[in-house]
Amino acid sequence: MIESLESLSNLCLKSMHLNDGDMEIVVQPILNGKKCTILDLRNNEITSVGASILAGLFYGKRRSIALLLDGNPISDAGVESIAKAIINSETGRTNIYLSSIGMTDVGCDYLAQMLKENHGIWYLYLNNNEISDQGVRVLCESIEYYNKGLVILSLSGNKRLTDVSVDALCRIIPRVFFHQLFVGNCSLSTVGEERLRVTANQRTEFILHL
C-alpha cells in the first residue's frame, strides 16, 4: 500500500492492527528520502519496541514531522526512545502526539530533558495518561527555563493532575512562544481553574482549554 502511494507527505496508517514488526516497513521509505510531514499511527498495537524503530526517523537528516502515536501501548520505555532520539538530532518543526499510551511521570522526565535540549518541538499532546503533579512540574520547569519553541501543551484527561500543578502551569503561560494549554477533565478545582483563567487572560493571544 505504501509503495502504491504517489506521496507519503500525509501517511495515515491508523487503526490497522500494525505491530512492532511492521515499523521497519513504515520507516524505510522515509529514511530513504521520501518526504513525510505527517505519520499517523494512532490506535495500533505498537509497543516500546516499535517506538525504538520509529525513533530512527529523528536521526540524521533534518526533518519536520508530526508523529501521531496516540492509543498505542508504547509506555515510558517507548517515550524514552523517542525523546532520546530527538535530543540527539536537529529536528525541524516537530509535533508529537502521545495520548493514551500508558505513560507516567517517568516518561515526563524524558520529555522534559528533550524540551531542554531541542526547541523544534511545537506541539506536545499527552492526554489521558497517568501523569501526576510531579510529572507536570518537571515539564513546566523545562518550558519555563529552557524551551523557546513549544506552542501547545495538552494534558487533558490526566486525572492525577491537581491544584498542586497550578503554580507551575501559571508560570509557563506568559512564555512568549507558548499559545495553548489543554487541562480539561483533570482534577482541578474551580479555584484552580479560575487562577489559570486569570493568568491566561493577561495575554491577548493565549487560549486556555478547560
Where do the domains of the chain lie, and which CATH numbers do they carry?
A: 10-209 (3.80.10.10)
Question: What pLDDT shows up at residue 206?
Answer: 97
136 grid coordinates: 507536570
C-alpha span between 154 and 159 (Å, rounded) = 13
Question: What pLDDT shows up at residue 108?
Answer: 98
Q: Are strands 65-68 and 94-97 parallel, antiparallel or unpaired?
A: parallel
The residues of the chain scoring below 50 in pLDDT are none
Backbone angles phi, psi at 124, to 5 degrees: -135, 110
Q: Where are the beta strands (DSSP E) in 47-92?
A: 65-68
Residue 209 bridge partners (DSSP): 182
| Residue 203: C-alpha distances to residues 9, 147, 199 (Å) | 35, 19, 8
Question: What pLDDT shows up at residue 193?
Answer: 98
pTM for this prediction? 0.96
Q: Give the tens place of pLDDT for each residue, 3-59.
A: 877 778 999 999 999 999 999 999 999 888 888 999 999 999 999 999 999 999 988
